[in-house]
């Protein structure tokens, strides 16, 4: 891709060694601007057109989350070895409306053998003392560079695009161990479920509704093609949090059981169905006496939520649905944070099925 075209989208071309000086000049251009940064957000992609796309994404993210963005477009298989760099600033009017708040973006196109210099490039450009979030848009490949991972505080990925969940997870876990620090794993496939999980959870906030949790007998989830893993994470979450045990008789089985003190094991039937639409079109849970349903109509930004007793009162509600776009998912992750321990427990329940 010609550098001239890229520079329009990603900013001013600079020599890699001149970046600090050029950034200083950029910031000094307009005294009415305020530079802000709460994190270093490094984005790594090997897609051919990623630089422009990720620049657009960063522009949106920085509206709510001031950061120093380091956008890397890598082409490890390119014959030629080279590194090109650009700098730019994403400026937005602050909430108070009184000033322009700017986040810096450093963009790199790295080709051929120079891709091995990734940690070197990233480390040199970090805004000191701020945490490093690494958004890895590719599948992970062995060997994982321990030098890079030792610096990462949160790694963001989307397991929905992974071909082999277990293999990828093993790589991440290895990197985590070698890094000798707690890297928080932020799976956008899990973030995709936040609003749905909130909608499910709120059914059972009142203590008088807690008993329903112990009486769930069926869970039916309808998901879009390609989002079976999203639906499985939802099942994993319910199982992990409600103490269900996998029926391991059949390795690919989706059966769960719940141990109850007062009677025999309680079987829970899970059914997943594929249908065009949103990642999770609907989730319905039933006990013998009540039903809980969440519907996400295609394209809607609200969830239709209903609870009803069999032959009894019905209640409806609308709740925010969240969006499936990468920028919305990353914004949600940045807004919520947290250690994602529940995610790890959910994964453990269904890892072999993912």
Partner 1 sequence: MSDKQLPNPLREGLSSKAVPQPCAIVIFGATGDLTHRKLIPALYNIAADGEMPPAVAVIGFARRPKTDEEFRAEMAEATRNFSRQTVRDEVWQHFAQSLFYHQSEFADEEGYRKLAERLDRLDQESGTRGNRLFYFAASPEQFETIVENLNKAGLNKAREGSWARVILEKPFGTDLASARHLNQIVQRSFKEDQTYRIDHFLGKETAQNILVLRFANAIFEPLWNTRYIDHVQITAAETLGVENRAGYYEGAGALRDMVQNHLLQLFCLVGMEPPTDLGADSIRDEKVKVVRSLRPFSQDEVGTFVVRGQYAAGAINGQPVTAYREEKGVDPKSQTETFVALRMLVDNWRWSEVPIYVRVGKRLPKSGTEISIHFKKAPSVLFNRESQAIEQNVLVIRIQPDEGISLRMQAKVPGTSFRIESVKMDFHYGTSFGKASPEAYERLLLDAMAGDATLFARRDEVEQAWAFVDTIEEAWAEKENAPKLCTYPAGSWGPEEADELMARDKRSWRRL
Q: Which residues bind partner 1 (CB under 8 A)?
A: 34, 36, 38, 62-66, 92, 94-96, 98-99, 101, 194-195, 197-208, 210, 213, 237-238, 241-242, 302, 305, 307, 313, 315-320, 335, 338-343
Closer to partner 1 by CB, 5 or 94: give it: 94
Kindly state the smallest distance separating residue 247's Cβ from partner 1, in Å: 21
* Residue among 116 and 339 whose Cβ is closer to partner 1: 339
Name residue 159's beta-bridge partners.
none
Closest CB to partner 1 among residues 8, 208: 208
**Minimum CB separation from partner 1 for residue 94, in Å?**
4
Alpha-carbon distance 84 to 262, whole Å? 68
Q: Count CB-CB contacts under 10 A for residue 106.
A: 26
Q: Which residue has tokens 């080279």?
A: 82
Closest among 112, 104, 83 to 15, alpha carbons compared: 83
For the CB of residue 166, give the shortest distance to partner 1 in the complex, in Å: 23
Which CB, 135 or 203, lies closer to partner 1? 203
Q: How far is the CB of 233 from partner 1 (least distance, A)?
A: 13
- Torsion (CA) 70, 74, 79, 80 in degrees, nearest 10: -10
* Nearest residue (CB) to partner 1, 163 versus 313: 313
Q: Are 132 and 72 in contact (CB under 8 A)?
A: no
Any idea what DSSP says for residue 353?
G
Q: In the complex with partner 1, which residue's Cβ is closer, 72 or 346?
A: 346
Cβ neighbors of 219 (< 8 A, separation 6 or more) are: 235, 238, 268, 269, 270, 271, 283, 284, 285
Complex with partner 1: residue 260 or 335, whichever CB lies closer: 335
- Among residues 189, 237, 236, 227, the alpha carbon closest in space to that of 333 is found at 189
CB of 102 to partner 1, least distance (A): 10
In the complex with partner 1, the residue whose CB is nearer, 181 or 341, is: 341
Characterize the bridge pairing of strands 314-320 and 302-309. antiparallel
Least Å distance between CB 20 and partner 1?
Answer: 18
Q: Which is nearer to partner 1, 198 or 328 (CB)?
A: 198
Q: How far is CA 303 from CA 219, 284, 317, 319, in A?
A: 18, 13, 8, 5
CB of residue 63 vs partner 1: minimum separation in angstroms?
Answer: 5
Q: Any residues with CB less than 8 A from the CB of 136 and at least 6 apart, and which?
A: 44, 155, 156, 157
Q: How far is the CB of 256 from partner 1 (least distance, A)?
A: 15
Report in angstroms how near the CB of residue 57 gets to partner 1 at its nearest.
15
- The answer to whether 190 and 233 have CB atoms below 8 angstroms apart is yes
Q: Are 79 and 173 in contact (CB under 8 A)?
A: no
In whole angstroms, give the CA distance from residue 176 to residue 42. Answer: 17
């Amino acid at each position: 891709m010609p550098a001239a075209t890229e520079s329009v989208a990603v900013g001013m071309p600079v020599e890699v060694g001149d970046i600090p000086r050029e950034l200083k000049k950029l910031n000094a251009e307009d005294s009415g601007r305020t530079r802000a940064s709460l994190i270093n957000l490094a984005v790594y992609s090997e897609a051919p057109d990623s630089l422009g796309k990720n620049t657009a994404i960063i522009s949106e993210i920085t509206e709510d989350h001031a950061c120093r963005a380091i956008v890397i477009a890598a082409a490890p298989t390119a014959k030629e070895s080279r590194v090109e760099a650009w700098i730019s600033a994403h400026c937005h009017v602050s909430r108070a409306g009184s000033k322009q708040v700017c986040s810096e973006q450093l963009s790199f196109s790295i080709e051929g053998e120079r891709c091995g210099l990734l940690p070197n490039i990233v480390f040199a450009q970090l805004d000191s003392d701020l945490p490093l979030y690494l958004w890895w848009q590719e599948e992970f490949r062995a060997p994982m560079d321990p030098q890079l991972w030792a610096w990462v505080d949160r790694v963001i990925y989307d397991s929905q695009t992974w071909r082999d969940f277990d293999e990828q997870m093993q790589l991440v876990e290895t990197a985590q161990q070698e890094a000798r620090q707690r890297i928080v794993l932020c799976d956008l496939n899990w973030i995709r479920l936040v609003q749905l999980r909130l909608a499910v959870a709120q059914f059972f906030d009142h203590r008088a509704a807690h008993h329903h949790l112990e009486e769930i007998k069926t869970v039916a989830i309808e998901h879009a093609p390609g989002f079976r893993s999203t639906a499985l994470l939802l099942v994993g979450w319910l199982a992990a949090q409600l103490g269900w045990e996998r029926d391991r008789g059949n390795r690919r089985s989706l059966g769960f059981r719940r141990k109850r003190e007062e009677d025999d094991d309680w079987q829970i039937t899970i059914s997943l169905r594929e249908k065009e639409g949103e990642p999770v079109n609907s989730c319905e849970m039933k006990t013998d006496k009540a039903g809980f349903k969440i519907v996400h109509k295609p394209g809607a930004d609200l969830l239709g939520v209903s609870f009803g007793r069999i032959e009894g009162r019905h209640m409806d509600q609308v709740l925010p649905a969240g969006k499936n776009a990468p920028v919305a998912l990353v914004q949600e992750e940045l807004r919520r944070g947290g250690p994602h321990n529940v995610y790890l427990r959910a994964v453990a329940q269904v890892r072999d099925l993912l």
